[in-house]
Structure 1
């Protein structure tokens, strides 16, 4: 486990939370059973399909809006409930939703952003579980331009971001020309925290 204090951010990285064989089975089941969608986003006045597939799962009524896309939750599946319980045991947080991202190849990506939407509360806890191919994850401080960090998110790893991480840092999964296997990322969240 890596536990670090990046200026104004509590970050914990567990490189092997899940067993490799389990990861392969979970990945296959999610690819085959989740209703994946590709929404359109507008960047600098230009509309384009999101460079990845997504799904939103959670408790009833826990909708989520980002980049002007509002997602209504699909019901929890037995596998997602199992993964949620595993993540909750490590994080000590009771999550009520999960955003799933399917990165089909190196052209799929996530641009610089923070998970700071109002429905996530003041200091959201984001628990990011990876299945499938390894992808690079980059962080940069919003004000201290020289402060950057990166991790390789391997299959079965968990990245826990908490404290003021979403206020002071941005993160991304950049495109890559390296051959990479498909990857699913599950980011567990608490919508409308108490």
Structure 2
């Protein structure tokens, strides 16, 4: 006696390849930089920031990004003292949830990464009728972590909150601490 087996084949959907995408963020940040030691310097500043990113999704809710901040700047052009701040950075990050792919429907997203930062702060200080000039530069590694909240799940616009910690490569007592709030969005490759 012969036995016949029959299998029904249902159509299998092929997974849609996840495409890379670009993003842009515009925001403000506040930071504190310091140089510890006998001639202690501690400086705070606020900056306007512009950053660009490229993200390559690995799966729907996990992706890798390169974030370039070509400019973060603040200057007191109307104040006599004329404080000036400049920051640039390049960061590689891992994204989970919102921001990891354009098809993610997550209600929020987290990211974390590391890279390199250049931070320059110049400040004039008036004490007792005399002006003092302070300058602090930091060039070295930076670690970042943050989260994104879209106005609605599935949207590409978002509010981004980020914390950063940086240090100088040559002078170990120089540090940078930063908080950033920005608004951004993602677009297709």
Structure number with higher relative contact order (C-alpha < 8 Å, ≥ 6 residues apart):
1
Q: TM-score, normalised by structure 2?
A: 0.25
Q: TM-score, normalised by structure 1?
A: 0.24
Q: Structure 1 or 2: larger strand share?
A: 2
Which structure: larger Rg?
2
